[in-house]
């Protein structure tokens, strides 16, 4: 009986199970720490950074989240002014430009060091740029250097000798760069991560000049010349960097470190922000924008971003081979409603392709919002009241935000000009394949500028341009873009661009919808985080203060 008593009451079992459960988590118990307040004390910035980076090799990676980390670890010849993005001295102390704008001579900064103590020299840049255009490395951004004399030939294997390429170390502290033709935005290109230097001895220790798969970017191996050094990297969890005492301008760096969190789920990121784990997010879920705007506007920040959300037409297929049909559709959507009712993030309706105020350039031409005019155009094209127009497909990549916009536009076309379209969505990679093979009639698209210059938007629509999936071609347009590329004075250049933009708004191979904004959640304690159109924030100038 005594033995049986031990099992006597089955109702005591809950105690037993609760005991087990608490044992499981015994190691986890304790007070929850708050990154935001701790971070302010220790000058450690905690930021959400989109997805897990592909890597940290400046010559191999392509995305924004990689750039956000690399810019802390490496510095190009020129850096960016945190407010205006104007080129300011970086690894180069100063530079001179020849009158024809084709030759640049950079004076390297005296005393600039790699994080292992080696001096940063002109040869480092020659080596790094050679690496970028080594065919074996297959760098996605190799074409960024094709402006250099003979660089493209070297990449294609037409010449073997790298000495013929337009970059030369005259001595340790002088770098001479020769271009094919004047490139007005060349200095801005230099702050792109693909043109950043890498440490030769480190690269060669872990592989060859053209090894894509290499361990040199791992913590402990990485040698950089930027304001921070790589400390830890846990896949899908966190990347941390700490202040680099050997950085030439270490005196102005106030942060002691940055923690980058790969946050591919924006809802999770928002929750992390709300619970005090992040100072700053990479984005804001659409459904939360209004809530923050109303309840805590001091935490949400919106500023223009150098990008355009648009639809493109396949101009090789009926009925969009007729510019009148394209223009009619472009004239009959109410962009203001889309940005005010759907996207709600302060986006601006776009009536031309290049975003307004791109380095002082604002398109003068505009696609009007004119339903009556659109009806007239459709009638002229042979489809009065939309009659006879076949039902067309609108393709977008699977994402709720795109679907909402597509549904709104579908309704607008139905109501205003009686044009019926059906919506089709595809997974991202399938969608890209459809675009590339021109297997669409109307397709959603977006373009984010690579550098602050109208050229990054307008040169993509030249005949057979790699990103021109519309099949559209216009000789006059091509020649205007070509002329602008050869022109030195900004005023004259912008005139060519204005004329090109006018052709674009008349022929409408693409239908601009809105200009992007960058929206993020940011603690008011984060200082020195200035709004700019590329969303670049050099961390040297960032600090945390109550």
| Contact positions with other proteins (CB under 8 A) in 226-265 | 234-238, 261, 263-265
Stretch that binds other proteins, among 88-96, 176-184, 215-223, 406-414 (CB under 8 A): 215-223
92 vs 272, beta carbon nearer other proteins: 272
Residues forming beta bridges with residue 522, ordered by sequence position: 280
Smallest gap from Cβ 482 to other proteins, in A, equals 18
C-alpha distances in Å from residue 28, one per residue of 21, 23, 24, 25, 84: 12, 10, 8, 5, 46
86 binds other proteins (CB under 8 A): no
Residues 338-377 that bind other proteins (CB under 8 A): none
* CB 477 within 8 Å of CB 500: yes
29 binds other proteins (CB under 8 A): yes
Smallest gap from Cβ 141 to other proteins, in A, equals 9
Q: CA 363 to CA 499: how far, in whole Å?
A: 9
429 binds other proteins (CB under 8 A): yes
488 binds other proteins (CB under 8 A): no
Distance of CA 162 to the CA centre of its chain: 31
**Residue from 52, 80, 124, 535 that binds other proteins (CB under 8 A)?**
52
Residues 66-85 that bind other proteins (CB under 8 A): none
399 binds other proteins (CB under 8 A): no
SS3 of 87, please?
A: strand
Binding mask 143-182 for other proteins (x = CB under 8 A): x-----------xx--------------------------
Distance of CA 407 to the CA centre of its chain: 27
Smallest gap from Cβ 135 to other proteins, in A, equals 5
Crossing angle for the helix pair 323-331 and 490-507, to the nearest 10 degrees: 100
Smallest gap from Cβ 274 to other proteins, in A, equals 6
Residues 259-298 that bind other proteins (CB under 8 A): 261, 263-265, 267-268, 271-272, 274-275, 277
15 binds other proteins (CB under 8 A): no
Which residue, 521, 287, 265, 320, is CA-closest to 404?
A: 287
163 vs 268, beta carbon nearer other proteins: 268
Task: Return the H-helix or E-strand segment holding 24.
Answer: helix 13-24
* CB 82 within 8 Å of CB 227: no
Backbone φ, ψ for residue 506 (5° rounding): -85, -40
**Residue from 212, 318, 414, 527 that binds other proteins (CB under 8 A)?**
212
Q: What is the DSSP string of 95-148?
A: EEE-TTS-EEEEEEPTT-B-TTSPBP-HHHHHHHHHHHT-GGG--TTGGGGTTB
**Residue from 372, 427, 476, 545 that binds other proteins (CB under 8 A)?**
427
Task: Return the H-helix or E-strand segment holding 481.
Answer: helix 475-486
SS3 of 490, please?
A: helix
Stretch that binds other proteins, among 25-33, 99-107, 310-318, 404-412 (CB under 8 A): 25-33
Stretch that binds other proteins, among 1-9, 69-77, 476-484, 533-541 (CB under 8 A): 1-9
30 binds other proteins (CB under 8 A): yes
Stretch that binds other proteins, among 111-119, 288-296, 364-372, 423-431 (CB under 8 A): 423-431
- Per DSSP, 316 falls in state T
Size of the site for other proteins (CB under 8 A): 74
**Residue from 37, 42, 54, 110 that binds other proteins (CB under 8 A)?**
54
**Residue from 142, 339, 417, 484 that binds other proteins (CB under 8 A)?**
142
C-alpha distances in Å from residue 383, one per residue of 33, 69, 327, 386, 442: 66, 53, 13, 5, 18
Smallest gap from Cβ 464 to other proteins, in A, equals 11
């Amino acid at each position: 009986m005594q033995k049986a008593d031990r099992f006597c009451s089955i109702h005591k079992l809950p105690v037993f199970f609760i005991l087990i459960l608490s044992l499981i988590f015994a190691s986890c118990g304790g007070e929850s720490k708050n990154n935001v307040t701790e971070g302010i004390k220790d000058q450690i910035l905690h930021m959400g950074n989109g997805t897990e980076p592909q890597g940290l090799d400046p010559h191999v990676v392509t995305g924004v989240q990689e750039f956000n980390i690399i810019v802390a670890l490496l510095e190009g010849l020129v850096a960016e002014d945190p407010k205006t993005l104007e080129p300011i001295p970086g690894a180069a102390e100063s530079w001179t430009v020849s009158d024809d704008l084709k030759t640049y001579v950079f004076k390297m900064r005296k005393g600039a060091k790699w994080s292992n103590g080696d001096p940063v020299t002109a040869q480092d840049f020659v080596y790094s740029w050679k690496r970028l255009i080594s065919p074996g490395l297959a760098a996605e951004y190799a074409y960024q250097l094709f402006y250099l004399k003979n660089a493209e030939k070297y990449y294609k294997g037409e010449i073997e000798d790298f000495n013929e390429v337009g970059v030369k170390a005259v001595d340790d502290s002088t770098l001479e760069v020769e271009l094919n033709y004047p490139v007005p935005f060349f200095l801005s290109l230099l702050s792109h991560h693909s043109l950043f230097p890498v440490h030769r001895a480190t690269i060669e220790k872990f592989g060859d000049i053209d090894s894509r798969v290499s361990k040199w970017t791992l913590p402990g191996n990485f040698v950089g010349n930027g304001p921070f050094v790589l400390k830890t990297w846990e896949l899908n969890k966190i990347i941390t960097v700490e202040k680099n005492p050997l950085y030439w301008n270490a005196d102005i760096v106030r942060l002691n470190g940055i923690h980058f969190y790969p946050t591919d789920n924006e809802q999770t990121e928002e929750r992390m922000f709300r619970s005090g784990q992040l100072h700053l997010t990479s984005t804001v879920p659409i459904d939360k924008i209004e809530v923050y705007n109303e309840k805590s506007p001091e935490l949400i920040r919106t500023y223009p971003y150098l990008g355009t959300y648009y639809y493109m037409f396949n101009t090789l297929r009926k009925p969009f081979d007729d510019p009148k049909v394209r223009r009619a559709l472009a004239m009959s959507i109410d962009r203001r409603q889309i940005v005010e009712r759907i996207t709600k993030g302060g986006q601006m309706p776009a009536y031309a392709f290049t975003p307004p105020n791109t380095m002082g350039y604002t398109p003068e031409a505009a696609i009007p919002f004119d339903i009556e005019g659109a009806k007239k155009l459709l009638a002229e094209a042979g489809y009065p009241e939309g009659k006879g127009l076949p039902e067309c497909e609108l393709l977008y990549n699977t994402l709720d935000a795109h679907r909402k916009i597509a549904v709104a536009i579908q309704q607008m076309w139905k109501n205003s000009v009686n044009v019926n379209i059906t919506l089709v969505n595809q997974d991202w990679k399938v969608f890209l394949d459809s675009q590339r093979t021109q297997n669409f009639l109307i397709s959603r698209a977006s373009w984010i500028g690579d550098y602050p210059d109208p050229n990054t938007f307008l040169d993509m629509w030249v005949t057979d341009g790699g990103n021109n999936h519309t099949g559209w071609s216009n000789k006059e347009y091509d020649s205007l873009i070509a002329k602008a590329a050869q022109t030195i004075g900004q005023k004259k250049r912008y005139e060519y661009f204005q004329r090109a933009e006018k052709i674009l708004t008349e022929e409408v191979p693409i239908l601009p919808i809105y200009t992007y904004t960058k929206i993020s959640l940011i603690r008011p304690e984060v200082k020195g985080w200035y709004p700019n159109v590329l969303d670049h924030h050099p961390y040297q100038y960032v600090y945390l203060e109550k």
